[in-house]
Amino acid sequence: NQQIVLDNRPEGDAVASNFKLVTSETPALAENQVLVKHHYMSLDPYMRGRMNDSKSYAASQALGEVMIGGTVGEVVETRHPKFAVGDQVVGMGGWQQYSVVDAAQPGALRKVDTTHVPLSYYLGAVGMPGVTAWYGLVKIINPKAGETVVISAATGAVGSAFGALAKARGCRTVGIAGGPEKCKYAVDELGFDACIDYKLHKDMYSLAKALKEHCPDGIDGYFENVGGMILDAILLRMNAFGRIAVCGMIAGYNGAPLPLTNPALILVNRLKVEGFIVSEHMEVWPEALTELGSLVATGKLRPRETVAEGLAAAPEAFLGLLKGKNFGKQLVKL
């Protein structure tokens, strides 16, 4: 079983030498355990926080241990009565080819149906990132039809699901993404009404001007994935009683400071600003996954994936994700 472990902690930017590829034997199964062969593993921005020793919303990852992460695959051996060989499953198998899972633990392993939804989507649009978009939109922004909502990292795993969910609620939906290709895709394929290329704007005033053009009635809801200059520009355009769902601040994950110029506008506009962690709201997952699954099955959500080949490609693909080299959900195919 090939595995990637965290070998040492990053200082500043994460680098490939923080990881190490190792090989180990798969142990014999105990009662209630199953052996899962991974087909895809998920790379997610939260993994960067786990590489640090300091306090983060995700617990720190121990050195020498397999990198934690979501996986989809199939059961190849089983000692649990509810799982059969050949079952397709989603779990937290980590950066390795196989995982031994205690299937009796609630939520450790979930069977999935691939009739209408491809297996890999359970790591993206119909998985954790999709539910993240759903929670921030439905539970925090809670938009009325006709309101304007904006999201940063609009073409990523979370962003693409957000676009379809907001559209389904009759919102004017505006994305912010890096580069003309991503912006075109957001409008042509994901159903965004407009998408702003933040890389064309070197300061918040310039970006705020573009926001004014594409959000003529102001912004009622903002889904924050990035932080920094983008958040400052958004604050200049928020309407009174607007809601900001703080999901991520990826611009700061490698340690860069994220100063805020306009915090007083939170008061002036009586904004609600609420952070959240999707894994703390398991009660919404069934409802969210049902809606996301039907958006995919009906072609209203057509997410894109960037797939790296083979376990050894995972570190570079992960570093690329933190720099926006991914286009849609970043996966590794095993």
Among 139, 138, 170, 136, which residue's Cα sits nearest to residue 152? 136
Instruction: Say whether residue 156 binds ligand NDP (CB under 6 A).
Output: yes
Instruction: Say whether residue 120 binds ligand NDP (CB under 6 A).
Output: no
Q: Of the two residues 210 and 250, which places its CB atom closer to ligand NDP in the complex?
A: 250
Distance CA 8, CA 6 (A): 6
Contacts of ligand NDP in 228-247 (CB under 6 A): 247
In Å, what is the CA distance from 254 to each residue of 56, 201, 223, 266, 318?
13, 22, 21, 26, 13
Instruction: Say whether residue 178 binds ligand NDP (CB under 6 A).
Output: yes
Least distance CB 314 / ligand NDP (angstroms): 15
Query: Within the chain, how many helices (H) and strands (E) appear?
Result: 9, 15
Instruction: Say whether residue 132 binds ligand NDP (CB under 6 A).
Output: yes
Q: Of the two residues 78 and 225, which places its CB atom closer to ligand NDP in the complex?
A: 225
Residues in binding contact with ligand NDP, number by CB under 6 A? 27
Least distance CB 198 / ligand NDP (angstroms): 6
Instruction: Say whether residue 194 binds ligand NDP (CB under 6 A).
Output: no
Assign 232 to helix, strand or coil.
Answer: helix
Least distance CB 321 / ligand NDP (angstroms): 5
Site for ligand NDP (CB under 6 A): which residue of 36, 157, 211, 308?
Answer: 157
Site for ligand NDP (CB under 6 A): which residue of 117, 208, 250, 331?
Answer: 250
Please give the structure tokens belonging to residue 40. Answer: 């895809």
Least distance CB 145 / ligand NDP (angstroms): 25
Residue 252 CB coordination number (10 Å): 14
Strands (E) across 172-298 are located at: 172-177, 194-197, 219-224, 238-246, 272-275
Contacts (Cβ under 8 Å, ≥6 apart) of 227: 248, 249, 250, 251, 252, 258
Q: Of the two residues 35 and 328, which places its CB atom closer to ligand NDP in the complex?
A: 328
Instruction: Say whether residue 251 binds ligand NDP (CB under 6 A).
Output: yes
Q: Which residue shows structure tokens 């990826």?
A: 250
Stretch that binds ligand NDP, among 12-20, 30-38, 40-48, 143-151 (CB under 6 A): 40-48
Instruction: Say whether residue 197 binds ligand NDP (CB under 6 A).
Output: no
Contacts of ligand NDP in 278-317 (CB under 6 A): 278
Instruction: Say whether residue 118 binds ligand NDP (CB under 6 A).
Output: no
The one-letter amino acid code at 53 reads D
Instruction: Say whether residue 177 binds ligand NDP (CB under 6 A).
Output: yes
Among 90, 182, 188, which residue's Cα sits nearest to residue 130? 90
Distance CA 283, CA 232 (A): 33
Site for ligand NDP (CB under 6 A): which residue of 36, 38, 225, 231?
Answer: 225
Please give the structure tokens belonging to residue 329. Answer: 């959900």
Stretch that binds ligand NDP, among 16-24, 39-47, 205-213, 232-240 (CB under 6 A): 39-47
Cβ burial, residue 213 (10 Å; 0-12/13-18/19+): exposed
Residues that bind ligand NDP (CB under 6 A): 44-46, 129, 132, 153, 155-159, 177-178, 182, 225-226, 247-248, 250-251, 276-278, 321, 324, 326, 329
